[in-house]
Structure 1
């Protein structure tokens, strides 16, 4: 029969679930406060603890001392089993066997209280059981538990009161508590969704923080790499410019030194050439520092710039430079390609004169199968063991920056040869 105790149970259930609803629907300030104090999992645990205490109090009020000797320790045991499953079994990813054993044991304990509880107060314990199952485990588990619980309760009623009275009591319980059971399951499922969303948001925040840290580290590394590359490029630009200009200038000054005694009337003319060279080199250094193209390439086309540096070399040195250009004058290369080729030719001429003491230099250029081929040969003294200096390293870096390859060949007394291959798309 349904008496005042049963109605008290319903009030307690609805009070508990209303607390959860209020928490879920609370304003943003309250949610922020709750998040700082304890998360929703902890709050749910407080609700469970409150329910256990409420059930204990109701059982104490509605049962005699002899019954309480069994009921109270059983409730304590139910409490421990439930929390141990939530915090020890699930958190340590134990197998489903452990979970089933724990749930079965808790179900038996709750049902055993029914033999002493004539007012269905043990339903409060069952609500906690179902709620925690919905939140932590799969939804289907809770449906299975409800079926098992109701079936077992019906069997207990039959054992205690016979089939007819058992059927009446069972139907009355379904009518009075069915909505409460559905309410508990539904609200628990909403809590589960909110927990899942919160954990998902926390994982996303962690991933975003990790991505942000990596981005900062990558930015710092990229910035460092860019600075390093720019330093190398600027050093290479200055070296290429100074090396060529100073080599030519030294040769010009040596010529002036000889002319001072043999043909002094030509000295002013040669000194003027040396002065022009020094000024040109100085201007090139300034332009390199400003990360601009070589001055000659600012004023002339690529092919004209190559011819200019060849003419300058032959005018100021005894070396003869021949250019076999198989490229059409109408062909236009990418700007960076033109600068690279200009610097490679410039550096190679400088090396041939300064290190190889060459009197003849031959330059060949052609494009075949979208590959630009550049070869520079001289008749200098050559070398048996090639030691790459800053100039040859600069040539390699320039060519490799365009995904090209460069090879150096030399032997004692047989000159020096540089072969360059660069993928090329004609504009």
Structure 2
């Protein structure tokens, strides 16, 4: 039962109590008003101020039984209206033994208040209050189960959202690693062909040049053959170089900075045992020399500080290449701090980024890790 319904019930019962006293007592004096006010004030303070403090609630209920007995004895009214709110509060605001004790004392007080009534009225009052207590306990039990169900649902929903987020991050990370692996392999093949085949053909050209000189002493035909062979070898070398340029991905420049950072994070993880995840968006654009150097140094500084100062065990790095900016986000799960003073590392990051016309923001709280966000502008001369 929600608070709004309880409040309506309370005010209705209080109104019934007041009207029953006024109807029973022809001349309402100041003592009657004071007694009723004490009853109402105690009742309201208990519900609105001390509703989470069980021992104060129990004391308040004991006071209410005493005031109820005094008011009924001197001013009359309906027994049920005196005890009704206390019964409800004893069930809803108390738990365990205190709840049962308060209800038992309420029944005892009801018996004392009803001792001058006939047996039918006594039975009706006691039975009504017992029924009220049972119904209140039933409603409270249903309400508690509903709250627990809602809490469980909220936890499941939060867990599902966290799982989706983790799955999305893992997918991005996996795709990033896959792209890097493909590019690394293509670059390795390109380098191997250049180093082996290119070197062999270059040697052939040199040797043919020597043969050409020697053949000039023995005959022009040998010299012509050597020239032709040399030209053929040169043409073959040019074709291989053309093929290598085509094989090597044109967008490799976009990945050079990312590959350098990946090498840094892998080496850092091996040395420290910190779990470092690097991710980036599908769309990328190349960084100039200054930007590449600054990004590398920022990652290096952040990783070092995460372990040395933050005692972090996990670090997430994400490079978001949008239309005009690179947004570099670095987050660890370290100790964090409520009041952070800029040290040499953070000062160097600010200075380097400012020199490139970028922006730096950070956020940290005690036991909530450290978040660093760097924004660098696109160098359009590298794209257009």
TM-score for both structures, normalised by structure 2: 0.51
Q: 2 CA distance for matches of 1:259 and 1:166?
A: 138
Instruction: Report the aligned-residue RMSD.
Output: 3.3
How many Å separate the matches in 1 of 2:123 and 2:209?
Answer: 124
**1:182–1:223 Cα change, 3 Å:** same
**CA separation in 2, counterparts of 1:74 and 1:114?**
7
Partner of 1:354: none
Number of the residue aligned with 1:79: 44
Give unpaired runs (5+ residues) of structure 2: 23-27, 216-222, 251-384
Cα-to-partner distance string for 1:107-162 (whole Å, 9 max, x where unaligned): 113313422244120233124303423xxx646654443233223433x33xx747
1:239 maps to which of 164, 182, 191:
191
Q: Which runs of 5+ in 1 are unaligned?
A: 1-19, 21-43, 90-98, 291-427
C-alpha separation in 1, matches of 2:105 and 2:115: 20
Structure 1 residues 232-279: Cα deviation after superposition (integer angstroms, max 9, x where no partner): 232222112222221112112211222222232344346545655665
Per-residue deviation, 1:170: 4.4
The structure with the larger Rg is 1
Residues in 2 aligned to 1:289 and 1:206: alpha-carbon distance in whole angstroms: 42
Give, in whole Å, the separation in 2 of the partners of 1:141 and 1:161.
26
- After superposition, residues 23-422 of structure 1 pair within 5 angstroms as 44-64=2-22, 65=28, 66-86=31-51, 89=52, 99-115=53-69, 116-117=71-72, 118-119=77-78, 120-133=80-93, 138=95, 142-154=99-111, 156-157=112-113, 161=115, 170-263=122-215, 264=223, 265-269=225-229, 271-272=231-232, 275-276=235-236, 279=239
Once residues 174 and 62 of structure 1 are traced to their aligned partners in structure 2, the CA distance between those partners, rounded to angstroms, is 18
Q: Is the 8 Å Cα contact of residues 39 and 68 (structure 2) preserved in structure 1?
A: no
| Closer/same/farther in 2, CA of residues 221 and 125 from structure 1, 3 Å limit | same
Return the alpha-carbon distance in structure 1 between the equivalents of residues 198 and 99 of structure 2: 89
Q: Distance in 2 between matches of 1:69 and 1:81?
A: 18
What secondary structure does 1:114 align onto? helix
Distance 2:122 2:174 in 1: 73
* Matched residue SS, 1:85: coil
Question: Aligned partners of 1:124 and 1:169: how far apart in 2?
Answer: 16
- C-alpha contact (below 8 Å) 2:16/2:81 kept by paired residues: yes
Q: What whole-Å deviation, never above 9, does each CA across 1:159-178 have from its counterpart, x for those lacking one?
A: x747xx69765433232333
| Residue deviations 1:295-323 (CA, integer Å, cap 9, x gap) | xxxxxxxxxxxxxxxxxxxxxxxxxxxxx
